[in-house]
């Protein structure tokens, strides 16, 4: 499938599906949920990782498995039809790129600097790959700090930078989301206490801070990419002012420093959303014309369609808990369940950059347990 003839025909005729891939995770800084298969001596033989594909156009769920992923890895990012899995153990991070449709698995060179739970960004085109790890530098066995970032780059022109490029992070930054978003040559991630946005310009290897809109009144802010634009999604709460609480979406303008509000959840729907959310917070993921908002501690999720300007509740995933996401709680609340965390995912049989990566790295050999 990597022949030039097939690739040219496939890339020309294959439709672009703006789907989502969800995994159950306890938190962004804990191990992924998995069904363990135990052998007679009680040890874990392998981990059966499962993901849940969601098609927003047809509102359908699909189950997908990752039998080649060894224990001790968590999904961290996705781009260009590939899912990036990163080792959970502290230290230099092992990285796997997986195409679940064809069962391919490529191991990239490990990061150079030891880290605990860094923020991770990935962007893959037909001719290049960029990967960035930032923060949670393991400065001792007992302490981490957000000091540096390191990046990985390969392109079809023959330029390689394999974790040799490092950069200092801005002072007093706090990275908690674990995610980066790529838009037009930059990786973006949320900075906390107080809220701002950190931007990493890949071409000049430099970080900068961007002030967030209404930063004093935001709650659960998330950065997503939609239609080539950076979008910030957050609840707005002005407790001392006569302004209704709301959920709003802003887009970063081309100048790179100004935000414009583009959408606001209808007030009646927000009241319903707030009752279910009950201050627990929410996560967001976007792809194409769609944004999904997942309420923490719940099976509830909202889908916003930019084209139709519609807000709709997503039906529960039928593959969790044997036919329903709801767990044992009341009103959709989980009890003892992990939360869904999502990635933008475009199912693709052929990813041209895979052939280049296979020339750089050896075929994947299973890790020993």
DSSP string, 284-300: EEEETTEEEEEETTBS-
Q: Are 313 and 299 in contact (CB under 8 A)?
A: no
- Contacts of 214-218 with C-beta under 8 Å, sequence gap 24+, read none
Q: Rounded to an integer, what distance in angstroms lies between the CA atom of residue 349 and that of residue 353? A: 12
Q: Given this model, what pLDDT does residue 123 score?
A: 96
Is the pTM value of this prediction over 0.85? yes
Q: Given this model, what pLDDT does residue 336 score?
A: 46
Domain boundaries, the chain: 17-27+50-211+338-363, 212-315
Cα dist from 187 to 14, 125, 194, 252, whole Å:
27, 15, 20, 13
pLDDT in tens, the chain (369 residues): 667 777 778 777 777 789 999 998 765 454 444 444 433 333 334 457 899 999 999 999 999 999 999 999 999 999 999 999 999 999 999 999 999 988 889 999 999 999 999 999 999 998 899 999 999 999 998 899 999 999 999 988 888 888 989 999 998 899 876 889 999 999 999 998 889 999 999 999 999 999 999 888 899 999 999 999 999 999 998 876 667 789 999 999 998 889 999 999 999 999 999 999 999 999 999 999 999 999 998 888 999 999 999 999 999 999 987 444 444 333 344 444 567 889 999 988 878 787 777 776 654 444 443
Looking up tokens 């874990």 gives 44
Q: Rounded to an integer, what distance in angstroms lies between the CA atom of residue 204 and that of residue 206? A: 6
For residue 301, the cross-strand partners are: 294
Q: Given this model, what pLDDT does residue 6 score?
A: 77
- List the Cα angle 80/89/209 in 5-degree steps: 60
Q: Given this model, what pLDDT does residue 101 score?
A: 87
Q: Given this model, what pLDDT does residue 15 score?
A: 75
Q: Given this model, what pLDDT does residue 337 score?
A: 57
Q: Rounded to an integer, what distance in angstroms lies between the CA atom of residue 217 and that of residue 195? A: 10
In terms of phi and psi (left: phi > 0; alpha: psi -120 to 50; beta: otherwise), the region of 309 is left
Q: Kindly report the backbone phi and psi dihedral angles of residue 331, in degrees, each rounded to the nearest multiple of 5, phi listed first.
A: 70, 30
Q: Given this model, what pLDDT does residue 2 score?
A: 65
Q: Given this model, what pLDDT does residue 255 score?
A: 87
Q: Given this model, what pLDDT does residue 142 score?
A: 87
In this structure, the strands spanning 196-201 and 44-55 are unpaired
């Amino acid at each position: 499938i990597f022949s030039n003839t097939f690739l040219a025909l496939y890339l020309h005729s294959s439709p672009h599906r703006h789907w989502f891939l969800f995994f159950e995770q306890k938190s962004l800084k804990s191990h992924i949920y998995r069904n363990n298969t135990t052998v007679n001596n009680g040890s874990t033989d392998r981990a059966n990782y499962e993901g849940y594909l969601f098609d927003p156009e047809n509102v359908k769920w699909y189950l997908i498995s990752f039998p080649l992923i060894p224990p001790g890895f968590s999904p961290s990012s996705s781009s260009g039809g590939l899912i990036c899995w990163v080792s959970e153990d502290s230290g230099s991070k092992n990285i796997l790129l997986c195409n679940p449709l064809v069962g391919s698995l490529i191991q990239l060179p490990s990061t150079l600097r030891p880290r605990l739970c860094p923020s991770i960004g990935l962007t893959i085109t037909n001719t290049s790959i960029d990967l960035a790890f930032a923060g949670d530098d393991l400065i001792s066995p007992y302490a981490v700090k957000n000091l540096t970032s390191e990046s990985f780059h390969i392109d079809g022109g023959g330029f390689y930078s394999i974790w040799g490029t490092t950069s200092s992070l801005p002072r007093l930054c706090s990275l908690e989301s674990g995610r980066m978003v790529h838009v037009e040559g930059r990786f973006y991630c949320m900075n906390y206490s107080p809220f701002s946005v950190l931007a990493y310009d890949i071409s000049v290897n430099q970080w900068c801070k961007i002030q967030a809109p209404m930063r004093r009144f935001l709650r659960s802010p998330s950065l997503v990419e939609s239609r080539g634009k950076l979008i910030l999604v957050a609840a707005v709460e002005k407790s001392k002012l006569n302004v209704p609480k709301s959920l709003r979406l802003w887009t970063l303008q081309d100048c790179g420093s100004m935000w414009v509000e583009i959408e606001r959840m209808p007030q009646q729907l927000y009241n319903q959303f707030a009752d279910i959310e009950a201050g627990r917070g929410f996560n967001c993921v976007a792809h194409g014309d769609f944004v999904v908002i997942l309420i923490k501690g719940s099976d509830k999720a909202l889908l916003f369609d930019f084209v139709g300007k519609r807000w709709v509740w997503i039906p529960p995933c039928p593959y969790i808990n044997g036919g329903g996401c709801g767990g044992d709680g009341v009103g959709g609340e989980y009890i003892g369940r992990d939360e869904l965390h999502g990635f933008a995912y475009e199912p693709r049989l052929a990813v041209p950059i895979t052939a280049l990566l296979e020339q750089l790295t050896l075929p994947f050999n299973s890790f020993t347990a």
